[in-house]
Amino acid sequence: MASILILGVHWLIKSFGDVNLDQIVYTLANAEGTDTTNVYTFIAGVLTPSLAFAGVSYFSGHLFLKVKKFVLSVWLSRLLKVLVIVLMLFFSSFYALSHFGWSKIANYFSDSTFIEENMVNTKKVNISFPNQKRNLIYIFVESLETSFADRDQGGDQSVNLLQPLMDVDPSAINFSNTALYGGQRQLPGMDYTVAGIIAQTAGLPLKFGGNYTQDQLNGDFSGTQIANMLPGLTSLGEILKQNGYTNYFLMGSTPNFGGRASYLEQHGDYQITGWPQAIQNGWLPEDYAENWGFEDRKLFEFAENMLTDIAQEDKLFNFSLLTSDTHFPDGYVYGDEEEVTDMQYKNVVFHSSAMVAEFIRWCQEQSWYDNTTIVVTGDHLTMDQGYVKSLDKNYTRTVFNLFLNTGLTTTFDKNRQFSNMDMFPTTLAAIGGKINSQEEQLGLGVNLFSGQKTMIEKYGYSETKKQLEQRSKFYIKQIIEGKKE
């Protein structure tokens, strides 16, 4: 047990970086469809050496006590054995918790009124659209962060891994935390894929904690379906559906992982296509399995085919994609991509950037593009710790964003402090939606086009982070349980 605690924390930090308890508990409860690589590294790096250590300790202790049986009485031998076990557990727990972070643990068991005091209930805000509504293509690029750019552009690389993406539309808008390219700061409850999607489409973090129960959700956390997921929030998909849009979501993995399918189906009635559906549709052989399901080359191929069919229906659409090639560790390699650096992960990022840019260029050639806005953003910061360790320790990492073909201009795009939550109302504004409230706010997210202060700009990054690490009775009651105010 002691070795599992010590090695487990080292494995957790080495594999995932800066994580919080909410993320750990939620991911363990929704593990179906996860990448087995991390399971294997846990077995090799934690479970196997822990079992070996336990075996050696047991036999060593048994031999020691046997040798000492003539010196120590039976009761003293037993007392010594108990004392050693207690001390090992105490020091290993202390070591593990210290490395994980005392503040995270303290915050996890604290209660905050931050969400209650600052949240704007989207259900109560009037959102209007022009007569000529714009289609939306929303591309969640796995782990896309601004550090991938070169230093002259606002990143931390000698080679600009995002150059293909930056070149695709010179008039595209990038909301930045600096005067150069930048993006949104990462906050608790939006630092893994499903949480990032929820934050960007609902303006709220995904909170889990010990307060989620099967009874509250009227379902289970087997990784299949959650019967009543976050009924108290209103999402981008719901607003668009109410205004005549059809919502689509394409991903190369299993949609059920992390409760993604439950969220998308219950909040916008998305038509979801993932790895199992692609096989069912006959797009892939029955035994096909690459990366998390199918790789991004096929993702963009399928996206082009789907959009061609959708366009023929002449209906408003919100088409979302989730890539996976740039997932840690090391990313997915095809074998024929250009190598621009000596690190595999960086080469994967560059290739991914080129594929996204190529897909955007295809969109630009379509008859429906003039009336379509494209948003490109990361779902969260990368968890590839080999790459993270290569960064300047003083560099501020942000999630990259790009808004294309909005028809809008803004003077509020640089030197901003914001998070994934602000993408929600900003995306609505980018397609012509008008948020009829003085705050230009939905949930905890603020429309960046408006110039209104975001949560981070009001309270500072550290304080906002601290508050969102804490539990919220209001969130449990209003968002998870869906009780009326």
**Mean pLDDT of all residues in the chain?**
84
- Helix (H), strand (E) at residue 400: strand 399-404
Question: Tens digit of pLDDT for each residue in 242-267?
Answer: 999 999 999 999 998 888 999 999 99
- Residue 314: pLDDT band (50, 70, 90) is confident
The pLDDT value given to residue 85: 56
68, 190: one domain:
no
Residue holding tokens 């990032």? 196
- Residue 228: pLDDT band (50, 70, 90) is confident
Is the pLDDT at 3 greater than 50? The verdict is: no
- Token pair recorded at residue 389: 């360790």
- Residue 107: pLDDT band (50, 70, 90) is low
- Token pair recorded at residue 22: 């909410």
Position 37, amino acid: T
β-strand pairing of 135-141 with 317-322 = parallel
Q: Where are the beta strands (DSSP E) in 432-473?
A: 434-435, 441-442, 445-446
Is the pLDDT at 153 greater than 90? The verdict is: yes
61, 134: one domain:
no
* SS3 per residue for 341-355: CCCHHHHHHHHHHHH
In a domain, 115, yes or no: no
- Token pair recorded at residue 465: 């982070």
51, 153: one domain:
no
**Residue 320: what are its φ and ψ, rounded to 5°?**
-110, 145
Identify the domain boundary among 108, 131, 148. Answer: 108
Q: How far apart are CA 213 and CA 347, in angstroms?
A: 42
Is the pLDDT at 219 greater than 50? The verdict is: no
* SS3 per residue for 208-228: CCCCCCHHHHCCCCCCCCCCC
191, 95: one domain:
no
Taking the alpha carbons of 19, 20, 23, 29 in that order, is the dihedral positive or negative?
positive
The pLDDT value given to residue 222: 40
In a domain, 113, yes or no: no
The pLDDT value given to residue 481: 85
How many alpha carbons lie under 13 Å from residue 214 in its C-beta half-sphere? 8
Q: How far apart are CA 35 and CA 271, in angstroms?
A: 24
The pLDDT value given to residue 74: 56
- Residue 438: pLDDT band (50, 70, 90) is confident
Residue holding tokens 């008039």? 171
In a domain, 340, yes or no: yes
What is the reported pTM? 0.81
CATH number of the domain to which 176 belongs: 3.40.720.10
133, 202: one domain:
yes
Q: How far apart are CA 42 and CA 48, in angstroms?
A: 9
In a domain, 163, yes or no: yes
In a domain, 266, yes or no: yes
Tell me which of 178-182, 259-263, 347-351 is least confident: 259-263
- The number of helix segments (H) and strand segments (E) in the chain equals 20, 11
Instruction: Note whether 185 and 417 are within 8 A (CB).
Output: yes
Buried b (16+ CB within 10 A) or exposed e, 50-77: beeeeeeeeeeeeeeeeeeeeeeeeeeb
The pLDDT value given to residue 48: 53
Q: How far apart are CA 116 and CA 30, in angstroms?
A: 27
Other C-beta atoms within 10 Å of 408: how many? 13
Mean pLDDT along residues 124-151: 97
Identify the domain boundary among 57, 78, 108. Answer: 108
Q: How far apart are CA 207 and CA 211, in angstroms?
A: 9
Identify the domain boundary among 108, 142, 171. Answer: 108
Mean pLDDT along residues 376-390: 95
103, 125: one domain:
no
Other C-beta atoms within 10 Å of 133: how many? 16
Report the candidate in 457, 375, 388, 367 with the shortest Cα–Cα distance to residue 416: 457
89, 126: one domain:
no
In a domain, 114, yes or no: no
Domain that holds residue 60: 2-108
149, 56: one domain:
no
75, 142: one domain:
no
Tell me which of 69-73, 311-315, 389-393 is least confident: 69-73
Instruction: Note whether 332 and 291 are within 8 A (CB).
Output: yes
The pLDDT value given to residue 38: 47
DSSP-derived secondary structure letter, 327: P
The pLDDT value given to residue 227: 75
Q: How far apart are CA 398 and CA 380, in angstroms?
A: 9
Angle at 326 between CA 445 and CA 303, to 5 degrees: 75
Instruction: Note whether 230 and 196 are within 8 A (CB).
Output: no
In a domain, 40, yes or no: yes
Question: Tens digit of pLDDT for each residue in 154-167?
Answer: 999 999 999 999 99
3-class state of residue 180 by DSSP: coil
Instruction: Note whether 413 and 175 are within 8 A (CB).
Output: yes
92, 216: one domain:
no
The pLDDT value given to residue 223: 45
Residue 174 region, left (φ>0) first, then alpha (ψ -120 to 50), else beta?
A: beta
Structural domains of the chain, count? 2
152, 217: one domain:
yes
Mean pLDDT along residues 209-217: 41
311, 423: one domain:
yes
